[in-house]
Amino acid sequence: MPLQTDGMVVKNRRVKSLHFLLGIYCPPIADQIKPGQFVMLKVSDNASPLLRRPFSVYRSYPASHPERRKRGHLLILYKKVGKGTRTMTTLGKGQKVNLIGPLGNGFALSPLPSSAHCILIGGGVGIASLYSLAEALRGRKCFVFIGGRTKDDILGVEDFRKLDTTIFTATEDGSLGFRGTVVDLFLSQAKKFKGNEKYHVYACGPVPMLRALAGTVKSKKFICQVSLEARMGCGFGACWGCVAKTKHFKLPYQRVCQEGPVFRLEDLAWE
């Protein structure tokens, strides 16, 4: 059950170019949130912007976390793109913000053996929902593909490296790593993933990236879960504003905030 609660800003700094990292002290949500879930943040206390904004949680530090000083913290990795995120960059340490969370279904992890091979694919700020997943997958063989338009959009490499993952990077302008999209890069490496075992693919990024992934990952050896980004009204299932089209026969439009944000790739219908 999601909670509505206040949190306190503990940090808000630029990571690179338009990307920022917001830290919020909010123990009730930090204790509960699972990889792939998100929070709705009210970034101002007035009507501008009016709606809350959805953010996946990059890292969370529950009460049981070994780093005592960080317990209760949530980290949100965000890109300054519009009015909401512009306002967000002005939040200062000590300021109060209101949150609703944890929301959505998160990634399904339970039937995953420790021998499973995992592939994480993040486009741009979409990588934000994959770090806590990589943490939860620790001990398993993880390949992380990070893509963006330019090297300024490649985020989290240092953090993922600390988790002993194998990292690949792609930029559309070739300024870092492979030149092309992250899905192209994944395909170019696909021969590495031969053999009999199944691969669990977890992806988050803009719609064109996920659509490209759906068009290329046809083999049954890849089991894909994708986390969708969507404009949201409420974030907790009340308004049906954030739907994605699925292959469901009767009611194809499912709520990203409630039935998602994580869907099985094969269940989604692309227009």
Partner 1 sequence: MEDCDLTIRIGKMVLKNPVVVSSGTFGFGEEFEGFFDLNRLGALIPKGISLKPMAGNPPPRIFETEGGILNSIGLQNPGFRDFIKNKLPYYKNLKTHLIINFFGKTQKEYVELARRFDNVAGVSGLEMNISCPNVKRGGIVFGTDPQMAYRLVQAVRKATALTLMVKLSPNVTDIALMAKSVEEGGADAVSLVNTFRAMAVNVHTRKPELGNTIGGLSGPAIKPIALRMVWEVGRAVKIPIIGMGGIMSAEDAIEFILVGASAIQIGTANLINPRTGLEVLQGIQKYLAKNRIDRIQKLIGTLG
Give me the 47-76 binding string for partner 1, x by CB under 8 A, dash otherwise. Answer: xxxxxx------------------------
Least distance (Å) from partner 1 to the CB of residue 230?
A: 7
Q: Are 124 and 146 in contact (CB under 8 A)?
A: no
SS3 at position 122: strand
**Of the ranges 14-22, 148-156, 193-201, 248-256, which one interacts with partner 1 (CB under 8 A)?**
248-256
Candidate list 139, 245, 264, 270; residue touching partner 1; CB under 8 A:
245
- Residue closer to partner 1 (CB basis): 165 or 227: 227
* Residue of 19, 42, 59, 200 that binds partner 1 (CB under 8 A): 42
Beta pairing class for 199-204 and 222-227: parallel
Does 241 help bind partner 1 (rule: CB under 8 A)? yes
81 contacts partner 1 (rule: CB under 8 A): no
Binding to partner 1, residues 201-220 (CB under 8 A): none
- Considering beta carbons, is residue 2 or 126 the nearer one to partner 1? 2
* Binding flag, residue 26, partner 1 (CB under 8 A): no
Three-state DSSP class for 29?
A: helix
> By C-beta, is 185 or 243 nearer to partner 1?
243
Q: Find the helix or strand (DSSP H, E) in which 223 lies.
A: strand 222-227
Hey, CA dihedral for 137, 133, 29, 228, is it positive or negative?
negative
Asked whether the CA dihedral 49, 74, 268, 237 is positive or negative, the reply is negative
Handedness of CA 252, 230, 184, 160 (dihedral sign): negative
Residue from 118, 154, 234, 268 binding partner 1 (CB under 8 A): 234
| Span between the terminal Cα atoms of the chain, in Å | 33
Residue closer to partner 1, measured from CB, 38 or 131:
38
| In the complex, minimum distance from the CB of residue 223 to partner 1, in angstroms, rounded to a whole number | 26
Q: Which residue has the tokens 């949100």?
A: 76
Site for partner 1 contains 45 (CB under 8 A): no
Distance CA 227, CA 122 (A): 10
* Distance between CA atoms of residues 242 and 233, nearest Å: 7
- What does the DSSP 8-state code read for residue 123? E
Q: Are strands 222-227 and 53-56 parallel, antiparallel or unpaired?
A: unpaired
Residue pair 96/43 in contact (Cβ under 8 Å)? The answer is no
Q: Which of 3/63 has CB closer to partner 1? A: 3
Nearer to partner 1, 112 or 230 (CB): 230
Question: Applying CB under 8 A, which of residues 141, 253, 265, 267 lies at the interface with partner 1?
Answer: 253
Residue carrying structure tokens 């709520």 = 255
CB 52 to partner 1: min, Å: 6
Provide the minimum distance between the beta carbon of 234 and partner 1 in the complex, in angstroms, as a whole number. Answer: 4
Cβ 54 vs Cβ 232: under 8 Å: yes
Give the nearer residue to partner 1 in terms of CB position, either 193 or 253: 253
Residues that bind partner 1 (CB under 8 A): 1-4, 42, 47-52, 98, 100, 230-234, 236-245, 250-253, 258, 271
